[in-house]
Each structure stands twice: as C-alpha cells, then as structure tokens.
Amino acid sequence: MRPDRLLLTTPQSLALSGATLLLLLVATTALGPLITGSGWWWASAIVAVAVIGGGAGMRAIRTPPSVVPPLEVAALILALTLLFGGTTSIALIIPTPDTFDAFGALAEGARRTIEQQSVPAIPVPALVFAICVGVGVVAVLLDLIVQTVRLPALAAVPILVPVLVPGLFVEAGAEVGALVLTAAAYLLLLRVDVRVRRSAELLQEDERDDAPMVIAPKRAPIVSTMGASLGLAAIGLLAASVITAATPSISTSFLLGSGGPGTLFARGVSPYLELGRDLRRPDPVPAFTYVSPDGIRPYFTLLTVQRLEGEVWTAGERAVDGDHTLDTLPRPDGLADDVLAPQRTISVDTQQVRTAWLPLPYPTAEVEGVRGSWFWDTGSLNVRSVDSTTLEQRYQLTHLDVQPSVGQLRAAGAPDPSAVAESTLELPDDLPPIIAQTAQEVAGTAPTPYDAAVAIQAYLRGSFEYSEDAPVAGGYDGGGFDVIAAFLEAGEGYCIHFASTMAVLAREIGIPSRISVGYTAGTATDARENGEVVVAVDSHDLHAWPELYFEGVGWVPFEPTPGRGTVPGYSRLGAGEDTEGVVPTAPSTGPGSTGRPDGDPDSALGDDAAALAARVDFLRGAGVVVLAIGLVLLPAAIRWGLRVGRRRRIRTGPQPADAAWREFAATAVDLGLPVDDRRTARVLTAELMRRPAFAVHGDPPGAAAGAALRLRDAVERERYGPATPVDAPARTDLARDLAVASAALRADAPASRRAEAVLLPRSLRAAGRDVVGRAVPRGA
C-alpha cells in the first residue's frame, strides 16, 4: 500500500481535511444514545478540530508528511491539557508531569464509570476524557489514511468505531439519522477525493516534458464517479446497519453497571447466588466501620430490588439521573409529617469493600465528604457512583430514624399509585401454587395489610430454620419463584430466601414490597473515636431483608430471617399502639466531621455535583465560543492558506508566474474591483492600472505600475511561450513585484473594504471552483 504520489495544492488538501473533519464530527453523534447532554460532543469536537486542523496547518507550511502524524498526537495532548489539565498545566495548554498524573486519574475514573454506569450515561469528566482520547486517536488515523496513505475509502474502518459502539450497549444500536448522516459525510469525502485527485492529475499532466502547449480541460465522467461514490456509501451504510442490528446488546450486563448478576462487589459478592457463598466464607472480610454519636445501629442498604422476575433478581436497569446529586436528596416516598423521624448523624469509614453502591441507612437525608460523583435513585434512594467506588471512603450521613406507631401502620390506606411503582406489586401468572396457598393460609384472614405483614414475618421466623448449606444441597440456592416454592417445601434457607419469600407473599395479598441488600448493624469494637464506640461491619454481616409500603409511613423494613439482625418493635406480634421502633430515641448530637484524604487522586474527577456541572457548562460554553470564532475566521483562514500556497509556488513550485498572477487577481477581487476572469492578463492589467494608486505607489513613486506590467509579461511568457526553467532570482523578482502591485491595490481601497477583504474575501468563490476540479488550461 504505497502513499499516493500526486501532489496536492493547499486548497485541495484543505478540502480533504474539511471533509474528514465533517465525517468524524457527524459519526461521533452516533454515541448520542449512550451519553446524556451535548457537552461531551463539544469537547470531542474541540479535540477533532485540534488534531485534523493542526494536520492541515502543518501541511500548509510543507511539513514533511512523516512528521505530521506525531505532531498531530502532540496537538491531541495539548487539546486534552486545555480541556482537562486545569491548574496542573502551564498557560492552560502546556502539560506538566502533574498533568499526566491527572490524566492517569481520569483514565482510571473512566474505567470505573464504564463499569458502573448504565445508559444513557452521565458525562462526568472522566468519561468525557475517555471519549476525547478516543476521538483524537480516530482523528489521527483518519488523517493518516486520507492525507498520507491517500486511500479515503479506508476511512470507513476507523469511522465504524463510534457507529458500532452503541450496538454493544443499547438494543436499538445507533440512531438511523446518525447512520444516514455518517454515510452522507462519507460520500462527500469520497466525492471530494475524486475531484481533488482528478484535478491533481491534470496539473501534473501539464508538467510532463512531452506535454503539448495547450491542453483542453479534462474532467472525469460525473456519472461514473458519482455512481461509484454512491455505491460505496450505500454499501457502507448497509453494512453498518446490519452489523449494528446484529450485534447483541449488553446493556443488561455489568459492563455499564446496570445490575446484572456479575461482580456486585470487588470481593466477589453478588446480590443472590454469591451472597450465600460469601456468607459461607470461614474468614470474614472487613467492609466498613462507623460511629454513631446517638448510639443507633441501623441496617445499611446498598441496593434495592423491586422487579421480581425470572430466576435471578437484580437491581433495576434505570439509568442514573444526572440531576439526582447528593445535595438534592428528597424526603422518602409516603412519609407523612406526623410520623416520628428524628435525624441521626453517622460517620462511616469504608475499608476493603469496593462497590458502586454507597452503604447508607434508609432513608438518608444528607451525605457529605464522599469522593467522586454519586447520584440517588428515585424511590429506593440508593446512592451509586458513576466514576468511583466505596474503597477507602470516609463520609458523614444524616439518617431519618423513622419510628411509626402500630396505629399509624394499621390505619394505612391503599397505596398512592404516584408514590409506588407498579413493579412493586407485579407477580407472574404462572406462580407456583404453593405461594398463593401459603399466603392465604398465613395472612388470608388478617384485618389489615399491617396485620398480614406481621403474620407473615412471624410465620417465617417461627416455622423455618436458618441454613446457609441446605439450599446448596437442595439445589435451590439463589432467587426466583421456583426457589421460593422449594424453600417453602424444605423449610430451610438463609436471608435471601426469607426476604424474597416475605416480599412475594406480601404482594400476593396486595402489599407493595421490595428487597434490600446490604449489611446488618455490625459488631461494637473496643476502639473509640472522639469518645464514641466504633462499630465494625464485615462480609458476615451481608444481609437481605424485605421492605413493605404503607401509605402515610412509606417503606418499612421487616426481619423474617431467624437468628439474624433485629426485629423492629412495630412488627412484633402483639405490639401495642405506642410501641416505638427498633431504634432507640436518644437525643441527637451535633454532626461530626469527616474529611477527604490529602492528595486524593480522585480529586481530578470532580468533587461534587456543582463542580461537575460547572465543568460541563464550561465545556459547552467553550465549545460554542470556539465554534463561533472558528466560523467567523474560517473564510480568512482559507484565504490565508490559498495565499501561502501560491507564494510557495512562486518560490519553489511549478508555474510561478501563474501563481503570482492568480494571487494578484484574487487580491483585486477581494477588494471589490471589477475583475472578469474571462479576460486576458493584458486587458485585466490595463484596467487595474487605471487606479490612481499605481501612479504614485512604490519606491520610487510609480514603481507599482512597473511591477504590474512585469507580472503580466511573466504570466504571458509562461502560458504562451516555450517551457523554460525559472531560476531563483527570477522567482524572487516575481514575489517582490507581487507584493508591490498588491500593496498598490490595497492602498487605493478604503479601510472598510480592506477589512472586508480580510474577513470575507470574495475570491473564495473562484477558489471553490478550483478545489472541486476546475482545470485552467495553459493558454487561457
């Protein structure tokens, strides 16, 4: 695969770069179904412009082709430094060793957020960083294929990466509109390449030693080139559509943290099957410690399961809501103001447990000091991260110690549909018969839902035995309705069996239910912190328990597992109207203090929602400003590139007089002078020299007229005379005459017209015709 030997002019190279950039920007929009908002796209657009635009600029100044790709990688690093380096960089763009440390932290955070987020993902800085790196790498590859190797058709290979990635995570794959636009951009790139290649061939054909003096304009057949381009684009679109549709979705896997039965914890714990395996470990693994100045010992919830279906019950697939930051934790669903719910402060110090879910008592009203980006889930108030884990976290929380009375629970009416999800009552039609029979026998005659719940809890605690080994031996270890049926027959199991059985029996009699997975209260140690007892929680404290919903009180925990945890006072048989809940009502003390460890590498990922929002807003605003400035200066930049290319031809390229004359005529067009390109150079020179400035401009005065005449004579000799080499002194004279004659044109124009010539050059219209393949035959 040899690089194309055709030499491209600067405008031709710019045209290819522009089409390449457009293709990459359009293809990147295919990632839209995976990520919320648009700030990530603007950041990736800045990177793409920096890489491909930098490569175009380097080629415009004739940088050796072999050096351009490494320099584009350097441009990528500079762009990443501008966007993500922050205070670690010099002048916001020059990276330092600290900048690369920050990049490393962002890369680690990107790995975590890809593992933990579901789609559409929240564009936290770590994720945006990963996208920008990917877009930058694709930009370097595209530019290498299109400009250096000169095989633009192969651009479809790297561009399929952003097009196909959505098919790995969402069932529908990339949106049809994104596919169509990407195919159209690919078609445009092929079309520009065909015209640029043909134009370059014609130019080099004119330079052969045996070339005739006058050559008629040549064009490739439009029908054939357009047909080939359309065919390639159609094949690419069809292939992308088929591959996207055929790629199996893994949106329900743990790759994006949507709650599959994989690695819920780094220590190998998952909510159900492996929960029993972890409980059966001979040596407990430390999870976290906490200090409660009020002396309360709550359960700590990691995640809540409310959709019970299939054989393995897992956390919901609901995507993280970027607006649900920790500073916006709401009041729990269904909790009325007349229910006693004093606030309790707890300080938590996590140890070896590594999970995306934060251990919190339900309901928690406030969390402070946790590192990374954490968001709460609607209803369950589970808090999960998209770029961090619980490993070595230290935070302080404020817990609502809900203490309903038996009277309030017994008086609860029908649940409000707006506060309770339909999934908390769903049961399949083919439920094993033993489940309905048991529910009817145990709670069928209960006067109220509360009394039915108490009866179910008493039945499970009194008639069944706790065993971590019996489900394994009996083949019903895990979750699912068949497992519940087997458990009801066998009468032995561990916490998940008791919790899921009570949840399903409650639904059978019309009580909304869900299952919480987390830790029991732990064990007090001899350690003290600020005079308070430190409570240790380890893997043997892993637990699952049911929560039932009562209107006016909300979600209430029960404890059906014998020998584990603590039975709430309101759920005991014969509990009186004034019985308090399981947690003592000691007076609340002032909040303690927790801090972030110094030098924490996760600080590069954003400390809280405000910082995250500010970063996203900055990226979006910076993208808009850069795009606006780029659009305003784009005509001037293109005109500058054309001017640089013609001056280079004057110094070292072919047909230097033609290049000088074209630049002279383009300057006149930019200044609004009447220039008809159908007229000969002699007629055009006579018209332009009528301008007053030619009589007085130059050194000595009037030298501009002589410069214009010499330009005319040189281009006539080159176009109509025999082909002769042009030596260096003659090229220098051409450049000097061009400068003097052009200065005379500008001197004769008002300041407003000169400014317009810079920002909105009128000669670009003719240059556009040259880019798409207009050949000017010698002798015209």
765-779 pLDDT, tens digit per residue, is 665 555 444 433 333
Does residue 462 surpass a pLDDT of 60?
Answer: yes
Query: pLDDT: is 19 or 201 the higher one?
Result: 19
Does residue 584 surpass a pLDDT of 50?
Answer: no
Give pLDDT, residue 213. Answer: 44
pLDDT grade, residue 227 (50/70/90)?
low
Give pLDDT, residue 317. Answer: 55
For residues 79 and 136, the answer to whether their CB atoms sit within 8 Å is yes
Does residue 81 surpass a pLDDT of 60?
Answer: yes
Q: Give one DSSP letter per residue of 153-184, joined into a string.
A: GGGHHHHHHHHHTHHHHSTT-S-HHHHHHHHH
**What is the pTM (predicted TM-score) of this model?**
0.52
Q: How far apart are CA 458 and CA 453, in angstroms?
A: 9
When mean pLDDT is compared across 133-147, 191-205, 421-435, the lowest value belongs to 191-205
Q: How far apart are CA 13 and CA 61, in angstroms?
A: 12
Domains of the chain in sequence order:
10-254 (no CATH), 273-605 (3.10.620.30), 634-771 (1.20.120)
Query: pLDDT: is 619 or 48 the higher one?
Result: 48
When mean pLDDT is compared across 51-60, 227-236, 727-736, the lowest value belongs to 227-236
43-54 pLDDT, tens digit per residue, is 999 999 999 999
531: nearest Cα among 297, 344, 291: 291
Give pLDDT, residue 766. Answer: 61
Residues 347-374 have a mean pLDDT of 89
Give pLDDT, residue 348. Answer: 94
Give pLDDT, residue 553. Answer: 92
486-544 pLDDT, tens digit per residue, is 999 998 988 888 999 999 999 999 999 999 989 999 999 988 988 889 999 988 888 99
Give pLDDT, residue 6. Answer: 60
The phi and psi torsions of 548 (rounded to 5 degrees) equal -115, 150
Query: pLDDT: is 276 or 383 the higher one?
Result: 383
Query: pLDDT: is 631 or 724 the higher one?
Result: 724
Give pLDDT, residue 618. Answer: 67
When mean pLDDT is compared across 166-180, 451-465, 622-636, 696-710, the lowest value belongs to 166-180
Residues 24-44 have a mean pLDDT of 86
Query: pLDDT: is 215 or 603 the higher one?
Result: 215
144: nearest Cα among 328, 16, 313: 16
Does residue 84 surpass a pLDDT of 80?
Answer: yes
The fraction of the chain above a pLDDT of 70, given in percent, is 76
Does residue 58 surpass a pLDDT of 70?
Answer: yes
Greatest mean pLDDT among 156-165, 545-554, 664-673: 545-554
pLDDT grade, residue 706 (50/70/90)?
confident
pLDDT grade, residue 441 (50/70/90)?
very high
Give pLDDT, residue 315. Answer: 62
Query: pLDDT: is 582 or 225 the higher one?
Result: 225
For residues 97 and 75, the answer to whether their CB atoms sit within 8 Å is no
Give pLDDT, residue 453. Answer: 94
188 burial level (CB within 10 Å; 0-12, 13-18, 19+) = middle
Instruction: Map residue 644 onto helix, strand or coil.
Output: helix
pLDDT grade, residue 276 (50/70/90)?
low
Residue 114 host element (H or E): helix 97-116
Residues 472-497 have a mean pLDDT of 84
Does residue 631 surpass a pLDDT of 50?
Answer: yes
pLDDT grade, residue 74 (50/70/90)?
very high
Greatest mean pLDDT among 70-79, 465-474, 475-484: 70-79
Does residue 440 surpass a pLDDT of 90?
Answer: yes
Query: pLDDT: is 593 or 354 the higher one?
Result: 354
pLDDT grade, residue 651 (50/70/90)?
confident
Does residue 258 surpass a pLDDT of 50?
Answer: no
SS (H, E, C) 287-330: EEEEECCCCCCCCEEEEEECCCCCCCCCCCCCCCCCCCEHHHCC
Greatest mean pLDDT among 68-72, 189-193, 618-622: 68-72
Does residue 345 surpass a pLDDT of 90?
Answer: yes
For residues 381 and 397, the answer to whether their CB atoms sit within 8 Å is no
Instruction: Map residue 756 onto helix, strand or coil.
Output: helix
Greatest mean pLDDT among 206-215, 396-405, 689-698: 396-405
Residues 400-427 have a mean pLDDT of 85
The fraction of the chain above a pLDDT of 90, given in percent, is 21
When mean pLDDT is compared across 169-183, 306-320, 681-695, the lowest value belongs to 306-320
Residues 436-456 have a mean pLDDT of 92
The mean pLDDT of the chain is 77
When mean pLDDT is compared across 131-145, 253-267, 483-497, 620-634, the lowest value belongs to 253-267
pLDDT grade, residue 748 (50/70/90)?
confident
pLDDT grade, residue 582 (50/70/90)?
very low
- Dihedral angle sign, alpha carbons of residues 727, 733, 737, 740: positive
Give pLDDT, residue 616. Answer: 58
Give pLDDT, residue 576. Answer: 64
